[in-house]
């Protein structure tokens, strides 16, 4: 159940088809997942979002691809986005996440959920040592 209709491969807008092509080339797979098919209701939004995902997630960088997907999954869980949890858990697996790593990811996410709630309940004040800004001003 969605608020817009998905785009199929024969979409009349050449910009939409070009993004789909680039997704396929970048991923080396013919599969286009639903996020892109629904986001295609607006070519600007599709192009800009794909460009950012490609730059942040599909470019060699200071973090390895699996770590990136686990971070993405963790945020998606905390934000309660079911679709995103599915797609990034699947991506993490595709990039080599083992069953043990997945269990550990969940243990950390669950523990963070718990301590985040405890800290907020107690309104714990930030230790002065954590303040990077103060550190700089003092030096």
Residue 1 is classified by DSSP as -
Count of CB atoms within 10 A of residue 49's CB? Answer: 15
Under rule CB under 8 A, how many of the chain's residues touch a second copy?
A: 88
4 CB-near residues (< 8 Å, 6+ apart): 38, 41
Query: Taking CB under 8 A as the criterion, which residues in 98-117 touch a second copy?
Result: 98-117
Integer Cα distance of 40 and 7 in angstroms: 6
Rounded to a whole number of angstroms, the minimum distance from the CB of residue 27 to a second copy is: 13
Query: Taking CB under 8 A as the criterion, which residues in 56-85 touch a second copy?
Result: 56-57, 61-63, 67-68, 70-85
Integer Cα distance of 51 and 57 in angstroms: 10
Rounded to a whole number of angstroms, the minimum distance from the CB of residue 13 to a second copy is: 13
Question: Counting contacts by CB under 8 A, is residue 94 touching a second copy?
Answer: no
Integer Cα distance of 74 and 80 in angstroms: 10
Q: Looking at beta carbons only, is 23 or 77 nearer to a second copy?
A: 77
Query: Taking CB under 8 A as the criterion, which residues in 25-54 touch a second copy?
Result: 31, 33-35, 38-39, 41-42, 44-45, 48-49, 52-53
């Amino acid at each position: 159940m969605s608020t817009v209709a998905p785009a199929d491969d024969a979409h009349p807008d050449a910009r939409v088809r070009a993004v789909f092509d680039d997704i396929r080339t970048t991923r080396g797979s013919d599969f286009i997942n639903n996020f892109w098919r629904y986001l295609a209701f607006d070519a600007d939004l599709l192009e800009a979002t794909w460009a950012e995902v490609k730059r942040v997630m599909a470019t060699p960088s200071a973090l390895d691809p699996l770590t990136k997907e686990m971070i993405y999954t963790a945020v998606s869980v905390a934000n309660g986005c079911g679709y995103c949890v599915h797609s990034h858990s699947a991506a993490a697996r595709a990039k080599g996440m083992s069953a043990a790593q997945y269990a550990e990811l969940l243990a950390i996410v669950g523990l963070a959920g718990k301590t985040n709630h405890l800290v907020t309940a107690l309104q714990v004040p930030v230790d002065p040592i954590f303040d990077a800004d103060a550190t700089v001003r003092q030096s």
